[in-house]
Every structure is written in C-alpha cells, then in structure tokens.
C-alpha cells in the first residue's frame, strides 16, 4: 500500500491523497462532494481507521482481498490517529508546494473535512464515535462511510458525523452474498437494521450504490424498498470503476457508462419519489434528492 502512495498511521489506520485533492491543487477541478455538499476538495483528508480490516470481500474492491482481516489490533487513541493522519498527509503534499498556488497549498495541509472511508470498514474501529468527536474538536467536518454491518456502532454513536453514508450495493440477500462475499453470516440482516436506523439520525444521510453491470445493476424496485426504509436525504448511484485489483475479478465491460448510471438513477427516482438532481460525468455518479 505504501508503494501505491498510501501511508500507514499507527497500528490500523491509513491515509491517501485523493485524486481530487491533487486535481484541485493542480488545475482547480473539484470532486462532486464539493459541488453537491460544500466541502473543499483540496482540504479533504481521505482516511480510514481500519485500513486492512473489513467484514466484506467485495468483488468490486480495488484492494488485494487476501489482505483483509476481521479482527483489529489494540485500538489506537483517536487523538494519535488524527495527529498522525494530518502529519502523513502534509508529508505527501510537500512535493506539490513548488508548483501550485502557495496559498491553496497552505490551506490543503490544514484539512477541514475528514472522509472516513478509503479502505476497510471504519465502524470496525471500536472508538469510531471518539474519532468523529476528535475531528469535530478541531473544527473539521466528517463524512462517515459504512457498509452498515455494525448497527450497534451506529446506534451508540455519541457524536454523529456531519454526513453519514450507508453503502447499498445489492437489492436482495442472494445478490448481497454474490457482491460482497461477506466474512460474517448475518451481514444482510445487519445492513437492514442499519437502514432502519438511518432515519433516526439528525445529520445529513446518504445511500450510496456502487453499481456493476451484469451483477447488481438490476431490480430498482427492490432497491427502492430498502432505500425508503432508511429515508436518506440523498441517494448516489455510482459506477464501479475498473481499477486496481478489481480488474482481475471483473471485465471492463462491467463498468457502467455515464448514461447507464443516469438511466438507473432515474429508475430509482421513479420508484422512490426522489428527484434526479445532478450528474457528475468525471466520477460517473448521479445524485437524487428528496422532493
């Protein structure tokens, strides 16, 4: 992972400089999260407190799945994780200083948003609530992305993230096993429990769907029933990207086009009553909002 540009922080966390952080610094192009949710791409810290720890081995994952572990080592202190992630990110950004706008670079090394996702399943880190609180203490916003298999952790969050994502990538239990290859027997039931919990959150909520042609890009009416349980503020339909180790598991033809994503989003909109809001061509993702 370090050869690929990642940095490991402590015993179980890690960071990477996001493609869109680099693009924002180099050319001013920004990601859909800035366009839709107001965060700044060049000030977004992409990290995970569970970099190789997950209870899924998703067929579309970019990582080598043999390096996936259920159990974590003794958890690091949230303060140490945040300090370590910010320092590692600054070190990786040092090389940009000489050829980008210096004011923007100085902003970039002081991130204002933490995208708690990147790799692994963040809610496997037992102090996830304390980690969110630590980021908030520093004036940062937080986007927590989870596969929904730890509803107990979501239920017991003393501090909510700024925005909560739950990944929904299967319309039914059979498809769930094909897509995610779970390491736990009751993941589908846990996911449904998390979907039920989502509507109780006070923060902004998002259902995110990573779609693979010929695998899970089907039966929008079934997805709709699951989405309506959660009552999210937003729905994102996003294309599987044919990158990394996923290239060895899936053909390039499994990557949906922008038009595929738009069409599927509109079908989801028809079944849920949500409104098609926008389409980001570069990231092949569509946004639906409540009417």
Q: What is the pLDDT along the chain (291 residues), one digit of tens a residue?
A: 788 788 999 999 999 998 999 999 999 899 999 999 999 999 999 999 999 899 998 888 887 777 788 887 789 999 999 999 999 999 999 988 888 888 998 999 999 999 999 888 999 999 999 999 999 999 999 999 999 999 999 999 999 999 999 999 999 999 999 999 999 999 999 999 999 999 999 999 999 999 999 999 999 999 999 999 999 999 999 998 766 676 788 778 888 999 999 999 999 999 999 999 999 999 999 999 997
197-207 core/surface letters (b: 16 or more CB in 10 A; e: else): bbeebebbbbb
Calculate Rg over the CA atoms of the chain: 18
User: In angstroms, rounded to a whole number, what is the distance separating the alpha carbons of residues 264 and 276?
Assistant: 11
Per-residue CA distances from 48 to 51, 84, 104, 112, 118 (Å): 5, 12, 24, 16, 6
Estimate the share of the chain in helix, then strand, then coil, as percent rounded to the nearest 5. Answer: 40, 20, 40
| pLDDT digits 0-9 by tens, 101-123 | 889 989 999 999 999 998 889 99
Which pLDDT score, from 0 to 100, does residue 246 have?
62
Q: What is the pLDDT of residue 72?
A: 78
**Domains of the chain listed by start with CATH number:** 7-289 (3.20.20.70)
- pTM reported for the whole predicted model: 0.92
The SS3 call for residue 255 is coil
Can you tell me whether residue 115 is helix, strand or coil?
Answer: strand
């Amino acid at each position: 992972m370090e050869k690929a540009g990642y940095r490991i922080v402590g015993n179980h966390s890690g960071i990477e400089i996001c493609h869109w952080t680099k693009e924002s610094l180099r050319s001013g192009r920004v990601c859909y999260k800035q366009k839709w949710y107001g965060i700044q791409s060049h000030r977004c810290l992409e990290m995970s407190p569970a970099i190789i720890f997950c209870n899924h081995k998703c067929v579309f994952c970019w990582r080598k799945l043999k390096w996936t572990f259920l159990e974590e080592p003794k958890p690091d202190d949230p303060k140490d994780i945040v300090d370590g992630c910010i320092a590692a990110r600054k070190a990786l950004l040092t090389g940009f200083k000489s050829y980008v706008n210096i004011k923007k670079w100085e902003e970039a090394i002081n991130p204002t948003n933490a995208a708690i996702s990147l790799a692994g399943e963040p809610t496997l880190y037992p102090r996830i609530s304390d980690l969110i609180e630590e980021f908030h203490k520093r004036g940062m916003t937080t986007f927590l992305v989870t596969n929904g298999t730890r509803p107990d952790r979501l239920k017991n969050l003393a501090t909510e993230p700024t925005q909560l994502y739950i990944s929904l990538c299967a319309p039914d239990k059979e498809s769930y096993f094909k897509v995610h290859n779970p390491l736990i027997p009751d993941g589908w039931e846990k996911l449904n429990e998390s979907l039920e919990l989502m509507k109780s959150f006070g923060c902004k909520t998002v259902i995110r769907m990573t779609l693979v042609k010929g695998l899970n890009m089907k039966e929008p009416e079934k997805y709709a029933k699951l989405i309506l349980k959660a009552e999210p503020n937003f729905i994102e339909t996003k294309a599987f990207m044919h990158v990394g180790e996923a290239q060895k598991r899936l053909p390039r033809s499994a990557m949906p086009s922008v038009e595929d994503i738009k069409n599927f989003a509109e079908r989801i909109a028809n079944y849920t009553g949500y409104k098609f809001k926008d389409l980001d061509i570069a990231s092949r993702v569509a946004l639906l909002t409540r009417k």
